[in-house]
Structure formats: C-alpha cells, structure tokens
Amino acid sequence: MQKSVKKIFINLKRFEVPRLFGGVSDHREPEEWAAYIIEGCARLGLGELADMPVIFFFPEALLLTARRVLKAQPCEKVKNMALGCQGVFREDLSGAPGGNFGAFTTHRPATAMRILGSAWTIIGHSEERREKLELIARFAPQVEKDGDPQLAGRAKAVVDTVMNEEVKAALQAGLQVLLCVGETVEEKGEGSAAAQRKRVRQVLRRQLVKGLAGIGSRPVVIAYEPVWAIGPGKVPPGGEYIGFVSAYIKEVVKAEFGYIPEVVYGGGLKKENAGEIGGVPTIDGGLVALTRFSGDIGFHPEDLRDIIQAFRQGAGIGMSGPV
C-alpha cells in the first residue's frame, strides 16, 4: 500500500570543483557539471515521481545554469523537480523608503535567491552552525578554553537565534525551508542509552524552539542531522534511533507550534541505509550529499536513482514509476 508523499533533498555543496583542483567533479566547466546533474536525473525519470519531489540545493553561482537547463527539459520529465540555494542571509531586501535595496556584499538575501530560481533553501546545516560557533569562539575564546557548559550553551543559543532569523527571511521571501537540527558527539555524550537520549532531547528541543520561534504555523521541513555520525569511518544511527529522534521532533513541534512537521533524515542518505531509513514510519524523506564514497567519489545521477529505489522499497512505495 502506497504511503504519503516523501521528499528527497540533494545538497550539492561545492561538488562542482573539478578533481584537478581537489574537488570531485569530472567536468572541467562548472556549467557542464550543473547540466550533467539536471539532465542526468531527468533522463533517469527522477522528476516524474508524483509521490516524491526531488529538490536540488545548488551553489549560488550555478542556480541560473540549473534553472536554464531545467526549463529546457520536457515538462513531464521534470514536473516534480525543484531548485534551492544553500542558505540565506538573516536580513533581506526592503522595498520600503529608506530600506536596504541591495547592500549585501558576500551575502545571499532570500529575495535574490528566489529570483535566481530557488524555491527552497537549506538552513542550519552542521557546517553552517560550526562556522558560526567558531567565529564566536575566536572572539570569546573562553567558550572553548574554559569548557564552561553555560558559556557554550549561550553561544549555541545565539546561533539558534541567527538560524531563526534566516528562516524568517526565507519564508517572508516566499522560499520553502529545510531546517537542519542535530547533536554533536560532545552533546550526545557518553554513558547509558537513557542518559544519551535525555541529552539529545535537550539539544533538539533548544534548536527547534529557538529555530522556529515567531513563524506561526507556516510549515518548515526538519532534517535530522546526527553530526556525530557524519564523515568517513563513522557509523550512522540505525532505524530505531532515527525513529526515536524523528518522533520526538514531531512531538516538540506539535506541542510548541501546533502542527506536525515533515522530518527527513539528514545524516547522509546512502544506498546502504536508504531502505532501513525509508521504513521508519516517522521519516518523510532524506537528504543526500555524495552518492559514492570510494573509487570514483562524487555525486552521480545513477547512484541517486539507486538510493531512491532503496528508499522507496523500504517505505513500501510502489516501483511502477520511471525509477
């Protein structure tokens, strides 16, 4: 029996950098790489899944290329594909007299991202949170030096508040939001499973309550990103743990904001874990980054197809579509 609609997000990070320069792209020209992603996924039918939107977060410089290539495809091949950006600034353009009409050097105002072709944005990814915490520690070294949990907690609360400002800016500009939350290895800590889960709940609650404050019932999709499980050699959490976290996220948002959010697994959906994660009842999709972690490391449309196949099978979604 077919279940509810699931969403697959793809965070393409800086994957457009050619291997010659230390990246993972097989294409010398970034525009060719962007076209390869969109055309390849369309050719494989990944945009024809009426029950599964596929959203691509591209680097800002390639949004126009991705939009052009997407528009050039037959409508039926990309009807369920969309583009997104990799973050927005906490302030946006203002049409009001005396407002800021464009002085955003180095930043990505949400309105600019929308007119470049973004329908979505990702906010609060662990890489973004880490960078902001590192800046705080640079100018307030006691945060790390003293190991004071109260100081560290206040620093993280500041970052949560900035994430909230970014969410508000994105929604105000008409973008849909994927907000990432999740605990680090230090936050999870050691000890019994019960003690760890208590600490994890505290971290998630803080990130959710502060990150979604003041937006009302406007739906935001939540990506659970277990930071401690990301990277080479790390062991990802199993379905039971992911089920515990995703159910708790839904519980908190329902209690605090009055709606049940979609929750996707954001710790790197892979072919090896996609089936198990797809079978978690409280999971509504996944976030993919790299699709191949050995040999020809990188992102490949054929691998994405395999990941989606595995996820759909785990979720009990019929395989009669193009995939």
pLDDT in tens, 280-292: 999 999 999 999 9
Burial class (CB in 10 A: 0-12, 13-18, 19+), 21: exposed
Highest-pLDDT range among 12-26, 135-149, 224-238: 12-26
Backbone angles phi, psi at 15, to 5 degrees: -75, -5
Q: What is the pLDDT at residue 3?
A: 47
Decide if pLDDT at 2 tops 50.
no
pLDDT the model gives residue 95: 79
Give the global pTM.
0.94
Q: What is the pLDDT of residue 150?
A: 67
User: What's the rounded Cα separation, in Å, for the pair 111 and 109?
Assistant: 6
Average pLDDT, the chain: 92
The predicted structure's pLDDT at residue 149: 61
In the predicted structure, residue 139 carries a pLDDT above the cut 80: no
Tell me how far CA of residue 203 lies from CA of 113, 133, 146, 182, 226, in angstroms: 30, 15, 21, 7, 11
Q: What is the pLDDT of residue 302?
A: 97
Provide mean pLDDT across the span 66-94.
97
- What span, in angstroms and rounded, lies between the C-alpha atoms of 83 and 67? 7
Q: Which pLDDT band holds residue 15 (cuts at 50, 70, 90)?
A: very high
Token readout for 38 is: 């969109």
Residue 5 has a pLDDT of: 81
Domains of the chain: 7-315 (3.20.20.70)
Give catalytic residues, as residue numbers: 125, 225
User: Does residue 162 surpass a pLDDT of 90?
Assistant: yes
Q: Residues 77-92: what's their mean pLDDT?
A: 97
Specify the pLDDT at position 268: 86
319 falls in which pLDDT band (50, 70, 90)? low
User: Mind listing the pLDDT tens digit for each residue in 182-200?
Assistant: 999 999 999 999 999 999 9
Long-range contacts of 105-113 (CB under 8 A, 24+ apart): 108/60, 109/169, 109/173, 110/169, 110/170, 110/172, 110/173, 110/175, 111/173, 113/60, 113/63, 113/85, 113/88, 113/173, 113/175
251-305 pLDDT per residue, tens = 999 999 999 999 999 998 999 999 999 999 999 999 999 999 888 899 999 999 9
Check whether 217 has a pLDDT greater than 70: yes
Residue 4 has a pLDDT of: 64
Confidence of residue 221 (pLDDT cuts 50, 70, 90): very high
Write out pLDDT tens, residues 32-42.
Answer: 999 999 999 99
Strand partners, 177: 121
